Homo-oligomer: A and B are copies of this chain.
Amino acid sequence: MSQDPLVVFTPSGKRGRFAKGTPVLTAARQLGVDLDSVCGGRGICSKCQITPSYGEFSKHGVTVADDALSEWNAVEQRYDDKRGLKPGRRLGCQAQVMGDVVIDVPPESQVHRQVVRKAASARVIDMDPATRLYFVEVEEPDMHEPTGDLERLERALKREWDIPEIRAESSLLSKLQPTLRKGKFQVTVALHKSHTDDVARVIDIWPGLHEAGLYGLAIDLGSTTVAAHLTDLDTGEVKASSGIMNPQIRFGEDLMSRVSYSMMNPGGDQEMTCAVRDAINTLAEEIAKEAGIEPHLIVETVFVCNPVMHHLLLGIDPVELGQAPFALATSDSVAMPARELDLHAINPRARTYILPCIAGHVGADAAAVALSEEPGKSEDLVLVVDVGTNAEILLGDTSRVLACSSPTGPAFEGAQISSGQRAAPGAIEAIQIDPDSKEPRFRVIGCEKWSDEEGFDEETAATGITGICGSGIIEAVAELRMAGLMDESGLIGSAEATGTARSVPEVRTHAYLIHDATADGGPRITVTQGDIRAIQLAKSALYAGARLLMDERGVDKVDRVVLAGAFGAHISPKHAMVLGMIPDVPLEKVTSAGNAAGTGARIALCNVAARQEIERVVREITKVETAIEPKFQDHFVAANAIPHKTDPFPELSKIVPLPNVSFNTGGDGGGGEDGGRRRRRRRA
């Protein structure tokens, strides 16, 4: 008697023998092969497409005959006619094993398909969202065996999908009966399975097979901007990204002024909570419209944010975060109905997940950076800096990860700078000062050319030259130092001392004139002594935070530096090191992670196990509080100087290509909504 046919699945290599007539989907399930199916093998969802291979496979020890699978059947033909199947493809639920066969599961048929992030590290996100679709056939009611429709739905989910227990809230109950009847007792349900309990929550239900997909919003809720990525929960694809200003800005530009506003104004925290929730609703509506999907198909939201935004989002007065001991109301991750946050623009039963906070000053955004950049998995010692109004700093390797935040203030974002502005068309974003002539050349956002190149004036005519943004002011200060116009203490010399008329008097000090359009009624753009002091304070704070972690770790250098934050993507590493923003490392060891916090949010949105992972990681992180550490003050004072007086990397002065970044849209920390659309280019 001959053996049952051997089935070998690729790429997994899983194999087993099955009786003739076994559907390929059944064989895959029994072997634990990752083959998707929403309709449970009814030939209607097409998720289980497979590609049989024919011929000899010495590697697998199998020869596959032409009749190794049952013949192409009517269900497959109907699907092919209606939607089209790629050549060579079969439906796994229809094709039956008839002889030894090698079956390839293409990536799009895998449940846990991987989505390659377009990041420098080229890591991938395994798709494993908390909310998934399940198609089921529910028994019809029988008055002799009376059971509720919900109970029969639960029974069907248990029978067909091995879901042990479901919960449905009353708003779902109210649509259950008409939906079941409209679908002739065939329905698709969206079930949310949390990593913290065993219950599957029914998020929504549709008659028949629901084919319009499910979506999630990964939201990076910054003090300045709110950025959202609308993500397909099946494919992981980002369907649209959008950002808006955080309307709380009217209550205070930075976090501490918002905390003060709450302290000074009874109900002030609630005003700010309402404002940001309204903004998120608006953003959700806009982004759904942009992507052309129904807002109720958004069934999950994941938030990353700093602790003050975290509390204001949750409706918690942030007053305790404004004073020692900076106690968080809750530090663990938060999972709840999105409705509790008044997010009425999306599915009424959508769920929200907020990553855990690390400490009173180190929020869920820093946790998201840790999730994205994984310092705890790094073999070499990596310093991850998320540059924004506050800098979140992580230092670690496989042995241990430390975290702190540092109050850099808004200077890096171009705020509190005399000619400063947000990164927007017309803003100077890059600058060079010739060491000999002391003359500047610069580029502005919205124009590819340098200011001394032909066509620059024409191309900038529309936007004008309006000010200087965060990356521009960092470069300007560093260039002033390298051009010998400024000493180590940050003092700009007089025209007599520097030999250039661009050193102009400014009250009792001097400023450097970059651009003067006053004759045409335009702005006069200078770098003042005050601007330099603001940048010195900011960079000292950042550097002191990094040093403090290095002290805690007992090291005086790091192996590599990752600059995160939308703003981080635009900082020139060379200028950052000239300024002394970050510890010196070889230039090629400085990389940009783009909007790592946003990436972390998207990972948590697409992979429920990542939520468990970051919760574990955050518990194990060593938290360092800068606000009360005397050594922080020492480092801060010591870091005030600007040490490098020459270009430390002359060989790299031609082109410094920045790595691709996956998330460069909006996000807190300077880029603003423009940040995502421009790609920084260095000296041509």
Chain A residues in the interface with B (C-beta under 8 A): 140-151, 168-171, 173-174, 176-178, 197, 199, 314-317, 319-320, 324-332, 334, 336, 340-341, 357-360, 623, 625, 627-628
Contact = CB atoms under 8 A, between A and B. Distances in A.
Contact of A146 (B146, B150, B331): B331
A359 B628 CA distance: 65
B197 A314 contact: no
A581 B143 CA distance: 26
A149 B329 contact: yes
Contact of A148 (B141, B142, B177, B331): B331
Given A173-B316, A177-B319, 19 more contacts: A146-B358, A146-B360, A148-B332, A149-B327, A150-B329, A150-B331, A151-B330, A151-B331, A151-B332, A170-B316, A170-B340, A170-B341, A173-B330, A174-B314, A176-B316, A176-B330, A177-B316, A177-B329, A178-B317
Nearest to A623: B146
A327 to B, nearest CB: 4
A634 to B, nearest CB: 18
Which 4 residue pairs are nearest across A and B when measured between Cβ atoms?
A: A148-B331, A141-B327, A146-B359, A143-B325
Contacts of A324: 143
A344 to B, nearest CB: 15
Contacts of A336: 169-170
A148 B627 contact: no
A341 B171 CA distance: 10
Question: Among the interface residues A147, A168, A176, A324, which one has the most CB atoms of the partner chain B within 10 A?
Answer: A147
26 contacts: A140-B325, A141-B327, A143-B627, A144-B625, A146-B325, A146-B359, A146-B360, A146-B623, A148-B327, A148-B329, A148-B330, A149-B328, A150-B330, A150-B331, A151-B330, A168-B330, A169-B336, A170-B314, A170-B315, A170-B336, A173-B316, A173-B330, A174-B315, A176-B316, A176-B329, A178-B317
B325 A142 contact: yes
A663 B325 CA distance: 54
Contacts of A628: 143
A173 B315 contact: yes
Contacts of A317: 174, 177-178
Contacts of A329: 148-150, 173-174, 176-177
Contacts of A330: 148-151, 168, 173, 176
Contacts of A359: 143, 146
A26 to B, nearest CB: 32
A195 to B, nearest CB: 14
B177 A327 contact: yes
A169 B334 CA distance: 9
Nearest to A627: B143
Contacts of A357: 148
Contacts of A176: 316, 329-330
What is the total number of copies of this protein in its complex? Answer: 2
A427 B160 CA distance: 59
A143 B360 contact: yes
B197 A146 contact: no
Contacts of A623: 144-146
Question: Among the interface residues A327, A359, A625, which one has the most CB atoms of the partner chain B within 10 A?
Answer: A327
A145 to B, nearest CB: 8
A627 B146 CA distance: 13
Nearest to A320: B177
A648 B207 CA distance: 60
A622 to B, nearest CB: 10
A99 B3 CA distance: 79
B331 A174 contact: no
Nearest to A152: B327
A191 to B, nearest CB: 17
A532 B606 CA distance: 69
A174 B176 CA distance: 34
Contact of A625 (B146, B149, B177, B340): B146
A94 to B, nearest CB: 33
Contacts of A143: 324-327, 359-360, 625, 627-628
A328 B148 contact: yes
A171 B314 CA distance: 8
A166 to B, nearest CB: 11
Nearest to A145: B623
Contacts of A316: 170, 173-174, 176-177
Contacts of A360: 143, 146
A321 to B, nearest CB: 10
A63 to B, nearest CB: 54
A360 B177 CA distance: 14
A619 to B, nearest CB: 10
Contacts of A625: 143-144, 146
A320 B317 CA distance: 47
Contacts of A149: 320, 327-330
Contacts of A170: 314-316, 334, 336, 340-341
Nearest to A273: B174
A314 B146 contact: no
Contacts of A148: 327-332, 357
A255 B144 CA distance: 22
Given A316-B174, A623-B146, A625-B143, A169 B328 contact: no
A625 to B, nearest CB: 5
A495 to B, nearest CB: 49
Contacts of A145: 623
Nearest to A356: B148
A341 B169 CA distance: 10
B173 A326 contact: no
A352 to B, nearest CB: 10
Nearest to A318: B177
Contacts of A199: 197
A326 B146 contact: yes
A169 to B, nearest CB: 6
